[in-house]
Structure 1
Amino acid sequence: MGNDQDPNDASSKAAARASQVSDHLNTTQDQKKPNTSRRRRKDKKDELPADYSDILSHVAKLREIANTPDQSRRGYVRQKQDGKLWVRERIDKLLDAGSFKEVGSVSGHVTWKQLGGEREEPVDYLPHNNLQGFGRLNGRQIIFTADDFSIRAGHQDGNLMAKTLWSEKMSVSMKLPMIKLTDGSSGGGSVSTIAATGFSYVPPMQGFDVVVKQLNMGIPNLGAVLGPAIGLGAARVVSCHFSVMAGNVGSLFNAGPQVVKNATFEEGLSMTDLGGPAMHCTNGTIDNLAASEEECFEQIRTVLSYLPNCGTQVPPTIHTDDPVDREDISLRSVIPRKRERMYDPRKIITGVVDKDSFFEIGPLWGRTAIIGLARLGGRPIGIISNNAELLTGAIDAAGAQKLTRHLKFCDIFNLPVLQFVDVPGYAVGTVAERTATMRWGVELTKAYYTTTMPLFNVITRKCYGVAGGVMVDCREPHARVAWPSGEWGSLPLDGGIDVGHSYELSQIEKEKGVEARMERYLELQTMYRRLMNPVRTANHFSIEEIIDPAHTRQVVSEWVRMVYESDLPERVVHRMSGKLQPLYA
């Protein structure tokens, strides 16, 4: 049959298999014998360490060079001669001790020495002139960038833009506040780049789309001018939610004195003349002035303490020993009974908010308006007040711009706004017309009606015209009260009587003389003053409540408590879902 097998073949196969097993066993035994043959070994000096200590030593050496100032380098010498801190000194003074974690710590230009084979070691190193990293401010995690003006004056040919872009994107991804210390062009170009690259590039603007995203997400962008901020460096700090300039060393401009000399023939300008604090802390380009770099850092810490990490969070609250029901009797007499007399509105602000909590923003520009940050019962709020000491509180073009910016600031950070209203209207006259007060007044109106953060009004004295109406009537339902000194209407009485009774008064003057006209004018004034008693307005519920000024803190603190407990939690949910998308930029 086909399945029959020859016995001889079966025996042969069995023998072959037995032989294979025997050979295998003999081979295994042979392998157990020590190998006594000589083998060529690598020279020890060519061997790379198993623990990668060579690579780690490279990193350590580059970091040591970067952390040690080169006192022979011209840029470092100039930095010290100008009275400025070195970039790593700034970081030490800004951040909580021991919290600095640098990213890109060994990025830069390295000269290597070949040691044979794969082995090499760095012998010279020029770090990139922009430091990035993480740190903490009063315990708050932040991300930051800091220019090193001592290397190529902050120009792009000494800077790796990828580092800055990384930090901007990481701020968005991790929702961390962004701190920017500017001293140079922050990566802006230099003509020497053309010689180095062999061509001239079309100017890029990498990363500004990310900056705008940060601003609108409510991720705090806080910047300090700690030297000459030029071009891109200037733009980066001016775009921040809050900016501060060191008065002893800071300046900011589109181009430096040499470029200006050739472009506009303005000769002999210093950096301070061109763009120092007297220029930019008084025109709104930079928010605040500080006496020194250290004070800049302190202002940044202070502003951050009022703000959330992102617009999808409620602002951080703190404990306060200042009781919310504290009375301030002095507020009853702070508004002079004689309407022509001025007063200091800051006394009202500081008398109402938590003690030592008011931080003013932009005190040197747009001075018809006072803005800032404060707390009530430990809860952060935005502050707006008219300034009765300047133009009797009328809002001019600069004041309107200042208020517009602050409304957007508070809206993006979920800060309830407390307003102290004493406004006779928008500024009038040729200066007001020439500076486009109406244009900026309309922009302010848009800001009041497009922002949605809660707003409470305390009418302390005047509330007239379009400006008054915009400030106190832009929210429904109204959250507002008046002091006994409050007065309101379409026009202030002084001037309003002349307009409303012009024919009558002119006829009296023609027929009976100037004295008769004045007598009638005083009669009309007395009548109107009586009719303008704020209690009459409250009788018709045209003002919701008239309060004792001494009780103002108690009233507004209760409002802020309710906002934080009911309104803000819902608000952040709407922002997370995309239902509410406030815009800062």
Structure 2
Amino acid sequence: MTTLEEPATVTAATGSTRDRTAALHTMRERVLRGPGEQATAAQHAKGKLTARERIGLLLDEGSFQEIEPLRRHRATGFGLEARRPHTDGVVTGWGTVHGRTVFVYAHDFRIFGGSLGEAHAQKIHKIMDLALAAGAPLVSLNDGAGARIQEGVTALAGYGGIFRRNAAASGVIPQISVMLGPCAGGAAYSPALTDFVFMVRETSQMFLTGPDVVQAVTGETIGQDGLGGADVHASVSGVAHFAFDDERGCLEEVRYLLSLLPQNNREAPPYRPTDDPADRPNEALTELVPADGNRPYDMRAVIAEIVDDGEFLEVHEHWAANVLCVLARVDGRVVGVVASQPQSLAGVLDIDASEKAARFVQLCDAFNIPLVTLVDVPGFLPGVGQEHGGIIRHGAKLLYAYCNATVPRVQLILRKAYGGAYIVMDSRSVGADLSYAWPTNEIAVMGAAGAAEVVFRREIAAAADPEAVRAERTRAYENELMHPYHAAERGLVDDVIDPARTRSVIAAALAVLQSKHADLPDRKHGNPPL
């Protein structure tokens, strides 16, 4: 463990106010310097910044107001009585990001490895309570070694208090966890309870049981990054929403995310005037999206064409790539976009994609962010693995999230919208306020060829020329039930629009729905298919 330099304390009972004030300033200066140059150098050698350096990058310059900098633990025994550094390994307070209040706590790995003891936990509890009372976002900068072994059960109880407050604040204030070092055991559950998790490659890891325990129990050999590194959680487990190469880039993106979120669930997201006209034509969309439903394309290019200045923040970019979840602005208003991604698995919905989109829909609904759903989905992914993995239950999560959402909801069908996946992707029947479609849309139970094979199976089998009959029946099904205006004739699509008008139509829809009010049934809470 790093040797700590004990800051001087004010113990004299005599002396003038001026003397005592001078002594206090001296002590505060030493507290701000931290445990010493050697410990700071060791932190920098690992490619990591100190707690205060991180706070300085996150918050607006000069805005940080620290609380309880002089707090120390009161534990005795096991060597702790001789080492009682101020702050107890966590820096807490508030400041501003783009001029708006944000609460923050940052583990100081230089002090007890950032481990959590009683005093450490109580500081975090206090800042969490203040954030909830003030109705402002909470950002945690995590770089700690877990529970402080020397303090026993009081350390574990400290984590329980954090988890309870995470749950109480969920859906009330935005909670963002930034992983900047190791996070093992029960400590990993607090980030998992928050709205967003950021990680930095090579320096941050999250796991419940470390590589040594895994090897001892299962015989599997794996390193820390391979078990719980940033890329693993960003692309395999889905625990991390964002992964970055360095801390500075990571914290800058946290600032950008905060600019898109409201302070709390009682406010609208911040409006930002734009020079990008709401009625800007989208002629490029006719080239970006092929009319042939079997040809892939990148839905990100479509989103960039629709939103203000082509700028958006993609959530879970590397996990469940067959569906996109992004935060952006349309005519200055923040929106959440859920979109099929034909470039990955043809845009089908599977277990991971359903869970990813459901979580995002719930986030947007909790924080008054309107939803725009761009649909080009051929269905749910078939297969034994998906069925045995619970695709019914996981798909129902997305269905439940949309049905429960009361924010403005606009659906746009670009090409395919087949089967249950069409319903789940915020169709009119599950509560979309407005639904639009391009002239290339196909809404049906399944593709025409498959449908004809089922409906006309006997006729095809008995025909002298089965292929000719199959082709004829396929065309008939397309013409009768899959033509672009079939759904519009029945009121399930509000209008079939020119793709070039997409941005203006969505902007107008969001504007008219801005004052939408909807109430849920009177209940304690629903019982979603978790």
TM-score by length of 1: 0.81
- Secondary structure of 1:385's counterpart equals strand
Partner of 1:497: 452
Give the direction of change, closer, same or farther, for the CA distance of 1:84–1:160 in structure 2 (3 Å limit): same
1:543 is matched with which residue?
Answer: 493
Alignment match of 2:32 (pick from 59, 64, 67): 67
Partner of 2:63: 99
What's the CA shift string for 1:131-155, capped at 9, x where partnerless?
Answer: 1011111111111011111222221
Correspondence for 2:78: none
Alignment deviations for residues 506-536 of structure 1 (CA, whole Å, 9 cap, x no partner): 223xxx4xxx222222222222233322134
Q: CA 1:97/1:301 → structure 2, altered by over 3 Å: closer, same or farther?
A: same
CA contact (8 A) 1:143 1:171 kept: yes
Instruction: State the alpha-carbon separation in 2 of the partners of residues 156 and 476 from structure 1.
Output: 45
Alignment counterpart, residue 554 of structure 1, candidates 500, 504, 512: 504
Moved more, 64-73 or 219-228: 64-73
Q: CA deviation at 1:414?
A: 0.6
1:296 aligns with 2:256: no
Secondary structure of the residue that 1:262 maps to in structure 2? Answer: helix
After TM superposition, give the deviation of residue 559 of structure 1 in Å.
Answer: 1.2
Preserved contact between residue 116 and residue 158 of structure 2 (Cα < 8 Å): no
In the alignment, is the contact (CA less than 8 A) between 2:410 and 2:432 conserved in 1? no
Cα displacement (A) at 1:285: 0.6
Question: What's the secondary structure of 1:355's corresponding residue?
Answer: helix
Instruction: Verify the 8 A CA contact 1:392 1:424 in the aligned structure 2.
Output: yes
8 A contact 1:86–1:148 mirrored in 2: yes
- 2:370 and 2:84 map into 1 onto residues whose CA distance is 54
- Cα offset for 1:276? 0.5
Deviation, structure 1 residue 384 = 0.5
How far residue 494 of structure 1 moved from its aligned partner, in angstroms, is 3.3
Q: Which residue of 1 aligns with 2:474?
A: 525
Deviation at 1:367, TM superposition (A): 1.5
Q: Is the CA contact (8 Å cut-off) linking 2:200 and 2:245 kept in structure 1?
A: yes
**Contact 1:216-1:583 at 8 Å conserved across structures:** no
With 530-539 and 349-358 compared, the bigger mean Cα shift is at 530-539
Per the alignment, residue 427 of structure 2 pairs with: 472
Identity of aligned residues (%): 28
Provide the secondary structure at the position in 1 that maps to 2:270.
coil
For 2:347 and 2:109, locate their aligned partners in 1 and report how far apart those are by CA, in whole Å.
43
- Aligned-residue Cα RMSD (Å) equals 2.8
1:160 Cα offset (Å): 2.0
Corresponding residue for 2:439?
484
1:211 alignment partner, SS class = helix
1:231-270 CA deviation, whole Å, 9 max, x = no partner?
2432222221111111242211113333333333334x32
Mapped to 1, the partners of 2:282 and 2:300 lie a distance apart of 14
* Alpha-carbon distance, 1:124 to partner: 8.5
| SS at 1:431 equivalent | helix
* Bigger mean CA offset, 526-535 vs 393-402: 526-535
Paired residues for 1:213-232 under 5 Å: 213-217=168-172, 219-232=173-186
Match of 2:228 among 275, 296, 306: 275
- Matching of residue 85 in structure 1 with residue 49 in structure 2: yes
Instruction: Please state if 1:48 is matched with 2:14.
Output: yes
Q: 1:158: Cα distance to partner?
A: 8.5
Q: How many Å apart are 1:334 and its aligned residue? A: 2.4
Amino acid at match of 2:511: R
Residue 359 of structure 1 contacts residue 372 of structure 1 at CA under 8 Å; is this kept in 2?
Answer: yes
Which is further off, 289-298 or 407-416? 289-298
Confirm or deny: 8 A CA contact 2:105 2:127 kept in the other structure.
yes
Q: Specify the alignment match of 1:322 in structure 2.
A: 276
Alpha-carbon distance in 2 for matches of 1:306, 1:137: 11
CA displacement, residues 447-471 of structure 1 (integer Å, 9 cap, x when unaligned): 2212222210000011111121132
Give CA deviations for 1:305-363 in whole Å, capped at 9, x if unaligned. 11111111121101101000100101123221222111111111111111143111001
Count of residue pairs the alignment pairs up: 507
Equivalent-residue separation in structure 2 for 1:301 and 1:474 (angstroms)? 37
Cα 1:405–1:172 change in 2 (3 A) is same
Show structure 2 runs of 5+ residues with no match: 1-11, 75-82
* Rounded Cα–Cα distance in structure 2 between residues aligned with 1:47 and 1:480: 74
Distance 1:263 1:580, change over 3 A: closer
Contact 2:451 2:474 in 1 (8 A): no
| Displacement after TM superposition at 1:500 (Å) | 1.7
What residue number does 1:189 align with?
Answer: 147
What's the TM-score once normalised by structure 2's chain length? 0.89
- The 3 A distance-change label for structure 1 pair 237 and 543 is same
Distance 1:138 1:98 in 2: 12
| TM-superposition CA deviations, 1:3-43 (whole Å, max 9, x none) | xxxxxxxxxxxxxxxxxxxxxxxxxxxxxxxxxxxxxxxxx
C-alpha displacement of 1:544: 1.9
Greater shift in the superposed pair: 155-164 or 274-283: 155-164
Tell me which amino acid in the other structure corresponds to 2:466: R
Contact 2:163 2:193 in 1 (8 A): no
Could you tell me which residue of structure 2 aligns to residue 146 of structure 1?
A: 106
Structure 2 distance, partners of 1:288, 1:248, is: 14
Q: Which residue of 2 aligns with 1:13?
A: none
Does residue 412 of the first structure (1) align with residue 366 of the second (2)?
Answer: yes
Distance 1:393 1:125, change over 3 A: closer
Distance 2:148 2:13 in 1: 44
Partner amino acid, structure 2, of 1:322: D
Q: Is the 8 Å Cα contact of residues 117 and 155 (structure 2) preserved in structure 1?
A: no
Q: Does the aligned pair in 2 maintain the 1:182–1:233 contact within 8 Å?
A: no
1:458 pairs with 2:412 = yes
Whose radius of gyration is greater, 1 or 2?
A: 1
In the other structure, the counterpart of 1:16 is none
User: Deviation digits for residues 416-458 of structure 1, max 9, x if unmatched?
Assistant: 1011011122111123223321110122222221222221000
Q: How does 1:162-173 map onto structure 2 within 5 Å?
A: 162-173=122-133
Aligned to 1:17: none
Displacement of 1:477 after TM fit? 6.9
Cα distance, 1:543–1:126 mapped onto 2, change above 3 Å: closer
Q: Which whole-Å CA distance do the structure 2 matches of 1:484 and 1:477 have between them?
A: 20
SS in 1 for 2:106: strand
Change (3 A) 1:330 1:583: farther
Contact 2:337 2:373 in 1 (8 A): yes
Give 1:53's aligned amino acid: D
Please state if 1:155 is matched with 2:115.
Answer: yes
1:428 aligns with 2:416: no
Amino acid at match of 2:142: T
Amino acid at match of 1:191: I
Where does the alignment leave 5 or more consecutive residues of structure 1 unmatched?
A: 1-45, 111-122
Given that residues 334 and 343 in structure 1 are in contact (C-alpha distance below 8 angstroms), is that contact kept between their aligned partners in structure 2? Answer: yes
Which residue pairs with 1:209 in the alignment?
Answer: 164
